[in-house]
Amino acid sequence: MKTVKDKVAAVTGAGSGIGRATAVLLASKGCHVALSDVNMSGLAETEALCRAKGVRVRADRVDVAKREQVHTWADEVAREFGAVHVIINNAGVALGATIEDTRYEDFEWLMSINFWGVVYGTKAFLPHLKAAGEGHVVNISSVFGLIGVPTQAAYNSAKFAVKGFTEALRQELEVESAAIGATCVHPGGIKTNIARNARVTMRPGWTDERSSKDFEKVFATTPEQAAEDILAAIHKNRRRQLIGTDAVFIDLLQRLLPTLYQRLLIAGMKRRRKKMLAAAAPSGTA
């Protein structure tokens, strides 16, 4: 797609972070937007920011883990706007825990949003994109869809799955010679609240009260910068979009050292684990 002006884009997880920044950027380019989130206060703020750009805006509470809600939303958006050209499957959550400590319920909760939400969004909107004659699917993965990381098994599983799902989708669209692109986005550390709002299972030596804050310290890219990269990926019909210098580095590291990177992570985690255990030890026992 060479332009988003006068087109219609749907964005999940639009109440904050990358979703909000991308929705506002699209609106500033003259794109009408349909927004969804479960955070109604955040969604209302994004709606106001987009309306200020002078475009048509619709905002709905949609739980992307609920297939029926996503399909109903897609059909209503297409009916109200007359067409849909872009779907950005952005909604996501985080979970910090070892595999041993991860409850099945938490694993299923994360997968239902981070993976199935992408599947539902893609399948619900794809027929409408095809009906419009052109379009683009943007699915948000992560750098954790490129490498495995201790305490992130559930998140890794979902984001690796999004990568494979999107690559297969892109190939199928090209086999059909459809005028629809598909991009898998791999953000590095983005300055959002996802880590702060994560479900974390505390375990000495693995996770503690400081884990999320320590994780956030390495976030270097703003949501606005991420939004610019996503829009560029749509315009240039890219198969994959890395966001942030950290994402570029991690991708290079994984490709050059596909197994050695794991040893580097293990060494770093062992050092961190030692410090955490020492800090948690009763006075005089360290």
- Tens-digit pLDDT profile for residues 94-110: 999 999 999 999 999 99
Query: Which residues lie below 8 Å from residue 60, measured CB to CB, with a gap of 6+?
Result: 34, 35, 36, 73, 76
Q: What is the pLDDT of residues 134-185, one digit of tens each?
A: 999 999 999 999 999 999 999 999 999 999 999 999 999 999 999 999 999 9
Query: Which residue has better confidence, 221 or 185?
Result: 185
Query: Which residue has better confidence, 285 or 149?
Result: 149
Task: Say yes or no to pLDDT of 84 above 80.
Answer: yes
Task: Say yes or no to pLDDT of 216 above 60.
Answer: no
pTM for this predicted structure: 0.91
Element counts in the chain: helices (H) and strands (E): 10, 9
Among 104, 120, 155, 261, which one carries the catalytic annotation? 155
Q: What is the pLDDT of residue 154?
A: 97
Top mean pLDDT of 221-225, 228-232, 256-260 is at: 228-232
Q: What angle do CA 24, 26, 32 make, to 5 degrees?
A: 100
Q: What is the pLDDT of residue 171?
A: 98
Q: What is the pLDDT of residue 286?
A: 44
Q: What is the pLDDT of residue 142?
A: 96
Annotation marks residue 155 as catalytic: yes
Q: What is the pLDDT of residue 202?
A: 66
Q: Tell me, what amino acid is at 283?
A: S
Neighbour-count burial for 173-207, b at 16+ CB within 10 Å, e otherwise? beeeebebbbbbbbbbbbbbebbeebebbeeebbb
Q: Distance of CA 116 to CAs 14, 31, 94, Å?
A: 17, 27, 15
Encoded tokens for 19: 């979703």
pLDDT category at 280 given cuts 50, 70, 90 is confident
Contact status, residue 18 vs residue 46, Cβ threshold 8 Å: no
How high does pLDDT run on average in the chain?
92
Calculate mean pLDDT across residues 15-26.
97
Neighbour-count burial for 7-24, b at 16+ CB within 10 Å, e otherwise? bbbbbbbbbbbbbbbbbb
The upper half-sphere exposure of residue 1, i.e. CA atoms within 13 Å in the direction of its Cβ, equals 30
